[in-house]
Structure 1
């Protein structure tokens, strides 16, 4: 058999197609590469996500929005002025992207228009804060990224 350019091109195509088929079959069979649904309760999580969107929209109802400000004493979360603070329930979740062990949650229990998160719990760097709160059976959500 004589080996020429045509035969070489056909062999190259067949080898390339075989290579691609090998990876397609490996990815479809191997359980390690199965990423059909990232979370088990995907549709339930989707409904919860819509609730988060609604709560974020509800947060825009107030004239003066929730404010998060860093002072020397710690992190202050100021709630809108015209609310009865005893009726506010919820939690403040601080998430540290670089270190999961530093994440923590603070329940909202206030007698003034602010909640104080003490300085000793906050390490310098990037923090994501999510304030999930409820007032008169209406849910609110405010999320921010902070750098200290």
Structure 2
């Protein structure tokens, strides 16, 4: 049986489409590939983005930048001088891009100007840290990317 050009092209297209479909189905059903959204309420969070910009700007305007230091005990977060630690409240969000189950949110309860995040909560790798805090009615927000 002789195959002409038209038949060969059609068979090549069918083979290519079958390969692509196989690849798409395999990738979409593989458990190793996590296809979830980054956050649960992505669109709701996007609406409050201007508040984040204002809070980040207030960190710069008030010279309220936080200092991060890696220690053997964990991550030491130092709040700026001139702020009473007992008047600071807020949260620290530890976001692990590679594994959502490792995400942690810690409420701020300060007794001194420094807060230690224990090493037991920080596995090696990349962390996105978001610290939202308020002092005397002003909102502050600082985001850091850290390789621990």
The answer, yes or no, to whether TM exceeds 0.5 is: yes
Normalising by the residue count of structure 2, what TM-score does the alignment of the two structures yield? 0.68
Normalising by the residue count of structure 1, what TM-score does the alignment of the two structures yield? 0.68
The Cα shift of 1:106 comes to: 0.7
CA contact (8 A) 2:132 2:139 kept: yes
Aligned to 2:109: 109
Distance 1:40 1:86, change over 3 A: closer
Please give the per-residue CA displacement for 1:32-55, whole angstroms capped at 9, x wherever unaligned: xxxxxxx9895x645411000000
The Cα shift of 1:76 comes to: 1.1
Larger-Rg structure: 1
Distance 1:125 1:45, change over 3 A: closer
User: Aligned pair count?
Assistant: 109
Please give the per-residue CA displacement for 1:39-89, whole angstroms capped at 9, x wherever unaligned: 9895x6454110000000001123352112211111111111111111100
Give me the CA root mean square deviation: 1.9
Unmatched 5+ stretches in structure 1: 1-38
Aligned to 1:99: 99
Aligned to 2:141: 141
